Chain A
């Protein structure tokens, strides 16, 4: 479970997030929507510790708490938080010097210290899971955008996080590739064995409505709705 309480994030004189409080339950699929500039991506980056925030709190489970402060947070807290909360980026951010397999292995090997053989077994299983078992040796430059994003999802899953944050995972893709990626996310959401919380920021509303359990609507850095998809204000779901 991820609990965000009264989170405040300033960027210079501008307030990006203004007292955001929201809770994501274990295994839930959460969609975050809102107009451009409402602070959706910034919220994800704060939850993952990629952005420092000035006040409030992010708690993951009962043991990891990141508190807002003008000074940088403790390194050990950041490390524990990031190992518990994975992230998938809009621009994929695959490591171009590694193969697809190497990218997925990088987390288990370099972050968790697993043996290469064990990491490779995990990586091959996940590649299969995202439908790219035959592209293990391909470098990112040899993959389509959709394939790259699927590798990025597998890479995030490889460290077995409690939650994965998807920051506009399909906005850099054409509709066909977007559909491929959303299908993978959908599969994960419907897999009962996967207990990972998935928080998805996307402008691609339609598939989001289909797979999300909960919708959060942000506007001007504030949560204006948090609840079921059916009750969400319709103006934000078009």
Chain B
């Protein structure tokens, strides 16, 4: 399962889900991402956390004689919380949040016996008549289908392996958002684990499931590698729960009990048999060096980072300059709205602004339904225009008044004087802070991953989730790419400063 890369600060929230009476017991700190996590973990109307995994955690705590304590974190980084010292306040004891049984995780953590068997479900809009089956994701003609998946999920890996470049994968950290985009027909389809699919099919009548569910897999609980006693205890509790019908009751309550779980009752160990379309990769036992592919993918994503920066920053500069000119030279009544523009944009997070531009704006003004790339460029440009406006304003105010007077005395119009005399000097003054902002924007492009854009940081996230053995190397390569790309900006700035210096001899 994969629901959501929350925006929450890791371990910002700790909520007990066990009875207050059990305070003296040792806690069982279970890591989860409750944001948009129905039916796994979510809040009811009263704000209480519910979900089949909340009830599972309660059951497991009861069996182990420990008090379950929910700890919130970003879904795809929950295993990293297990790496923290057990006695640190933000540490967790287990990851219990629809995590699949994966070899890459088993090498670092201990997995329990499976507690749920899932399959991948293809969801689309109920009126999408041309999408009746998985094979329709790759039509012979026409544009590529856009398919929303969640980062680091089995659905992402499956879609990537099965369809490669034949579909447009839109990677999003939030299942609710992906579902909304399919409902609004801004994405053609989404691949979800059957628990999420079951829940959202019920909640969102505009959706339908097409094709047969695919790629079965297991949800397991991960503990620290050395915590074998805890893992064994949890496994025993899961087996007991399957045997005595406790888990069945929990899953039935959420509409999640199906034939696969019956099977799970009798085969709690061993590999789940591969289905008909998972055989190709399974047949190949030879381990392929992933680095050429990973480097290729990182370079492709770096290209997107450069593209986003190179398109949004000139726009930000232009907008910022206009705002600054309006504030310094415009009519007095204009200063107030422009001041509000600057303060609102500087005072609210870029992340929220991107959300607004991409997700909320189309609801208010349908004609402003932007593609992720358009929204990314515009969102970054608008956000940074506020900072640039202040840079330029400082630059404009630094020009001596005599410069404008000299230009006017020559008979230039105020506009011409600003364009040919004032702005060129102001631009030269603000080269250092503007370059600084460009480098900052360059790195801030990573925030665009929340609106389905795969840039360098997002790609790093994707890659390390499936190649955890290379986590340090990937981080090093990614950081290196950022540095290699941003350092020339600093050189360019220095060159520009020299080029526009008022001291060198040049032609007219």
Query: Are B405 and A79 in contact (CB-based, < 8 A)?
Result: no
Q: Are B502 and A50 in contact (CB under 8 A)?
A: no
What is the chain B residue whose CB lies nearest that of A49? Answer: B408
Task: Give which listed residue, A97, A111, A140, contacts B410 with CB less than 8 A.
Answer: A111
> Does B416 contact A110, Cβ atoms closer than 8 Å?
yes
Bound: A138/B409 CA distance, A: 23
Q: Would A142 and B411 be within 8 Å (CB), given that A95-B406, A101-B508 are in contact?
A: no
Q: A50-B405, A93-B405 are in contact. Are A98 and B508 (CB under 8 A)?
A: yes
A101-157 contacts to B, CB under 8 A, are 101-102, 105-107, 110-112, 120, 123, 136-142, 155-156
Q: Chain B 493-508, CB within 8 Å of chain A: the 1/0 string? A: 0000000101111111
In the assembled complex, A6 has its CB within 8 A of some CB on chain B:
no
> A residues within 8 A CB of B478?
none
A-contacting residues, B369-421, CB 8 Å: 400, 402-403, 405-413, 416-417, 420-421
B433: interface (CB < 8 Å)? no
> Which chain B residues border A79 with CB–CB below 8 Å?
411, 413
Query: Most chain-B Cβ atoms within 10 A of its Cβ — which of A79, A111, A136, A156?
Result: A111
Contacts of A138 in B (CB 8 A): 505
- A105 and B505 within 8 A (CB): no
A218 contacts partner chain B, Cβ-Cβ < 8 Å: no
Distance to closest chain B CB from A223 (angstroms): 23
Pair A112/B411 contact, Cβ less than 8 Å: yes
- Asked if B425 is an interface residue, CB under 8 A from chain A, the answer is yes
Q: Chain A residues near B508 (CB, 8 Å)?
A: 98-99, 101-102, 105, 120, 123, 136-137
Which residues of chain B are within 8 angstroms of A123 by Cβ–Cβ distance?
A: 508
Check if B424 is an interface residue, CB within 8 A of chain A: yes
A110-B504 in contact (CB<8A) = no
Within residues 160 to 183 of chain A, which ones have a CB less than 8 A from any CB in chain B?
Answer: none
A48 near B409 with CB under 8 A, answer: yes
- Of B406, B425, B428, B507, which contacts A93 at CB under 8 A? B406
Are the C-beta atoms of A139 and B409 separated by less than 8 Å? no
Nearest CB of chain B from residue A52's CB, rounded to whole Å: 13
Q: CB-CB < 8 A to A97: which residues of B?
A: 424-425, 428, 500, 502
Given A48-B409, A50-B408, A82-B408, CB of A93 within 8 Å of CB of B503 = no
B413 contacts across to A, CB distance below 8 A: 75, 79
Chain A residues near B416 (CB-CB < 8 A): 110-111
B416-473 contacts to A, CB under 8 A, are 416-417, 420-421, 424-425, 428
B412 cross-chain contacts in A, Cβ below 8 A: 106-107, 110-111
B410 engages A96 (CB within 8 Å): no
Q: Scoring B residues 157 to 170 as 1 if CB is less than 8 Å from chain A, else 0, what string do you get?
A: 00000000000000
Contacts of A49 in B (CB 8 A): 408
| Closest chain A CB from B507 CB (angstroms) | 6
> Which A residue's beta carbon lies closest to that of B417?
A110
- Give the tally of cross-chain contacts (CB within 8 A): 92
A83 contacts partner chain B, Cβ-Cβ < 8 Å: yes
Chain A residues positioned under 8 Å from B507 (CB to CB): 99, 101, 137
In the complex, A225 has a CB within 8 A of chain B: no
B residues near A107, Cβ cutoff 8 Å? 410-412
Q: Which of B400, B403, B406, B506 contacts A139 (CB 8 A)?
A: B506
Q: How close is B420's CB to chain A, nearest CB, in angstroms? A: 5
Query: Which residues of B are found within 8 Å of A58, using beta-carbon distances?
Result: none
Q: Does A89 contact B (CB under 8 A)?
A: yes
Measured between beta carbons, the chain B residues less than 8 angstroms from A75 are: 413
Determine the chain B residues whose CB is within 8 A of the CB of A139 once the complex forms: 502-506
Given contacts A93-B405, A110-B416, A111-B416, contact A99 B506 (CB under 8 A): yes
Q: Report the bound CA distance from A110 to B422 in whole Å.
A: 13
Q: How far is the CB of B362 from chain A (nearest CB, A)?
A: 43
A229 CB within 8 Å of chain B: no
For chain A, which range describes its interface: under 10, 10 to 19, 20 to 34, or 35 or more residues? 35 or more
In angstroms, Cα B425 to Cα A150, docked, is 22
**Contact status A96-B425, CB under 8 Å:** yes
Whether A198 sits at the interface, judged by CB under 8 Å, is: no
Give the contacts of A47-85 with B (CB-CB under 8 A): 48-50, 75, 79, 82-83
- Pair B420/A110 contact, Cβ less than 8 Å: yes
Residues on B with C-beta less than 8 A from A102 are 508
Most buried by A among B409, B413, B416, B500: B409
**Cα–Cα distance between A50 and B407 once the two chains are bound (Å):** 11
Q: Note all chain B residues with C-beta closer than 8 A to A105.
A: 508
Chain B residues in 8 Å Cβ range of A96: 425, 502
Q: CA–CA, A31 to B7, complex, Å?
A: 74
**A136 contacts across to B, CB distance below 8 A:** 508
Given A111-B410, A159-B411, verify A95-B505 contact (CB < 8 Å). no
CB-CB nearest in chain B for A137: B505
Give the distance to chain A from B429, nearest Cβ to Cβ, in Å.
10
Does A91 lie at the interface of the complex (its beta carbon under 8 Å from any beta carbon of B)? yes
Which A residues are CB-close (under 8 A) to B503? 139, 141-142
Q: Determine if B421 and A95 form an interchain contact, defined as CB atoms under 8 angstroms apart.
A: yes
In the assembled complex, the Cα of A97 lies from the Cα of B400 at a distance in Å of 13
Shortest distance from the beta carbon of B242 to any chain A beta carbon, whole Å: 78
A86 within 8 A of B: yes
CB within 8 Å of A: which B312-345 residues: none
- Confirm or deny: A200 has a beta carbon within 8 angstroms of a beta carbon on chain B: no
User: Given the complex of chains A and B, what is the CA–CA distance between A91 and B412 in angstroms?
Assistant: 19
Residues of B46-86 contacting chain A, CB below 8 A: none
Per the bound structure, the CA–CA distance linking A136 and B505 in Å amounts to 9
In the bound assembly, the distance between CA atoms of A94 and B411 in angstroms comes to 15
7 A-B residue pairs with CB within 8 Å? A79-B411, A82-B409, A82-B410, A89-B402, A110-B412, A139-B503, A159-B411
Residues of B within 8 A of A (CB): 400, 402-403, 405-413, 416-417, 420-421, 424-425, 428, 500, 502-508
| A-B CB proximity, top 8 nearest | A83-B411, A111-B411, A93-B406, A87-B409, A96-B502, A107-B410, A93-B402, A101-B508
Q: Contact residues of A with B, CB < 8 Å?
A: 48-50, 75, 79, 82-83, 86-87, 89, 91, 93-99, 101-102, 105-107, 110-112, 120, 123, 136-142, 155-156, 159
4 further contact pairs, Cβ within 8 A, besides A94-B406, A106-B412, A111-B416: A79-B411, A95-B407, A107-B411, A110-B412
